[in-house]
Structure 1
């Protein structure tokens, strides 16, 4: 287009020179015609956007349009939208008002643990039967991450998950499969990347459960246990997995674990708890050593007078 305009201009310029000697009416008209042509054929001026001055288009120094990464976004903007996302996710349900907390209350109020009644608990989101097992668990991971982050400062004692008893409450073995899936799902999403449920020595010494760098003591309760069992659910039709951070025990000055118990004249907190369970008819086996994996006691067998182990972590049956 620019070449065509140049040719037109040259032709009219030549005509002007041709008649320049005879300054006549014809010459004047020709000159006017040339001026009109120059005005009409002038290229339109580019706008700021067309000239490359659009401030909303990302360009390199050479003018090439490129896409920008988050590295170019101000830190304050990144922090702001991340905070908004976190608040949106965490506001979905109040872990203090979760149904799991209310369903677990009879266990909390009737168990012989002397710390239970005053324990401050959070609960997982209500179970949605339209979702898969793992999807249900994953819905509560943001709240569990927050729990582990602020629990020590807010004096929180435990986080409760409730599994549907119709699916997992018939026996310790079936319950164990649910516990394994729950703890594995959480472990696979561990923000610290430890993934403790993928260890090869879960049933051996040195293993313990942890999430977000928080060592956790895991206790379970289910309706399959009779009223003479320490994991009795006190008539509640629910299967519960209670995650207790180890700092909660330390905050209560619980003494170091020991296989020894003063049954006749309890002296320590551990003595009093063990005696209370015995007096209530729910005595549990106290191992003769403290050097064993806590996994051995996460899911208990039905028998109360045996050291049999439910190997819930290695269950290979179809879930």
Structure 2
């Protein structure tokens, strides 16, 4: 067996998709910290200790990889950026004498601490920039993985331990629901997937998306939106370090109706709630006079965001067509930080125009409204005037 970080990441992704996170109800980062603590307690350095530690080290690797999956971090690219080999058989990773286990555990403990601190920040109510010493998970997780590798004597031993660990999950019942909601596994992320795969946007298929808890039809719209706040705030807080490409809401049409007028009212309420809770103007609502200023952009907790609205009422020749997804309105927040990662300042407008031409070449016309606020909820036909949804009275 010749382990490669990309193949390990794919194997962990399959395992979690098949069985769920076997460490539930703990989230992956808490489980990772527990495994590091177990290694410290094991101590020692003889053959028996090293063999017993192999399981803990493999579990650290799986937990770190699962955390990378949840944050959309391609580990092969992260290793390359750190100037480390993604092929884990590379000779430079395996010195002639393996690192003594206590020293390897000390290195791993030091590498895991910044991950704990960053994840604590993500779960907090702190605003972006409030802790300048925080680092991106994309830079921290390779450090954890490299430290865990140092606890193995060879890549063969690494491969054997990972095989045993992955095989041990076969007979497990699917893990119970996590006690902490995982936004990367939200129902809305599953619902939007066909749109991601079929749209003419060249970046959509590889986009990493998060979402809120599933819409609870026994609760009010406002209560459901309140339930989404911890996840969407966490999404916005990570953007000055790691970048998730979008945050997706899904609203069932059996609750709200399925006409275009129904869509416009739900979107008006959606924007009103976000404005009252996540903008600098909070608790003030959305002011149409300000929002129709050509200089206006939608800024949530310091992050400029675009919103794409998809609905079953959009026909097949529309850029917001649902590609077979039914029964929901889907609203996707796209932070500017995610857009400028793929469209740099110099080529932003030419490449944006090229993307719209891709839609038009696919017989889905995509004209660009003059005002930012008119680009969120598009009319049913390309030649229709902008939808003045913001003039509706909110019904929260």
Same fold at TM > 0.5: yes
- Structure 1 residue runs without a partner (length 5+): 1-82, 259-267
Secondary structure, in 3 states, of the residue corresponding to 1:163?
A: strand
Secondary structure, in 3 states, of the residue corresponding to 2:355?
A: helix
Structure 1 CA distance, aligned partners of 2:394 and 2:241? 41
Choose between structure 1 and 2: higher helix proportion: 2
1:210 Cα shift? 1.4
**What corresponds to 1:285 in structure 2?**
367
Query: Structure 1 residues 221 and 169, CA, compared in 2 at 3 Å: closer, same or farther?
Result: farther
- Structure 2 residue runs without a partner (length 5+): 1-119, 125-177
**What corresponds to 2:389 in structure 1?**
312
Structure 1 CA distance, aligned partners of 2:192 and 2:303? 23
**What corresponds to 1:270 in structure 2?**
352
Mapped contact 1:190–1:211 kept (Cα < 8 A) = yes
How high is the TM-score relative to the length of structure 1?
Answer: 0.63
Query: Structure 1 residues 183 and 192, CA, compared in 2 at 3 Å: closer, same or farther?
Result: same
**Residue deviations 1:176-212 (CA, integer Å, cap 9, x gap):** 1111111211221127455685333212312211111
**What corresponds to 2:19 in structure 1?**
none
Structure 1 CA distance, aligned partners of 2:179 and 2:236? 17
Structure 2 CA distance, aligned partners of 1:208 and 1:146? 21
Structure 2 CA distance, aligned partners of 1:171 and 1:186? 23
Structure 2 residue corresponding to 1:294, chosen from 372, 380, 383: 372
Matched, 1:113 2:201: yes
**Residue deviations 1:207-240 (CA, integer Å, cap 9, x gap):** 2111111110111000000110011111111211
Query: Structure 1 residues 184 and 284, CA, compared in 2 at 3 Å: closer, same or farther?
Result: same
Query: Structure 1 residues 216 and 277, CA, compared in 2 at 3 Å: closer, same or farther?
Result: same
Measured on the aligned residues, the alpha-carbon RMSD in Å equals 2.8
Structure 1 CA distance, aligned partners of 2:270 and 2:195? 20
Structure 2 CA distance, aligned partners of 1:204 and 1:117? 33
Match runs of 1:163-312 below 5 Å = 163-168=251-256, 170-190=258-278, 192-194=280-282, 197-199=285-287, 200-237=289-326, 238-255=328-345, 258=349, 268-287=350-369, 292-306=370-384, 308-312=385-389
Query: Structure 1 residues 213 and 116, CA, compared in 2 at 3 Å: closer, same or farther?
Result: same
1:174 Cα shift? 1.6
Match runs of 1:80-99 below 5 Å = 86=123, 92-99=180-187
1:144 Cα shift? 0.9
**What corresponds to 2:231 in structure 1?**
143
Mapped contact 2:368–2:375 kept (Cα < 8 A) = no
1:122 Cα shift? 0.4
Secondary structure, in 3 states, of the residue corresponding to 1:140?
A: helix
Mapped contact 1:168–1:239 kept (Cα < 8 A) = no
Structure 2 CA distance, aligned partners of 1:115 and 1:188? 31
Mapped contact 2:311–2:322 kept (Cα < 8 A) = yes
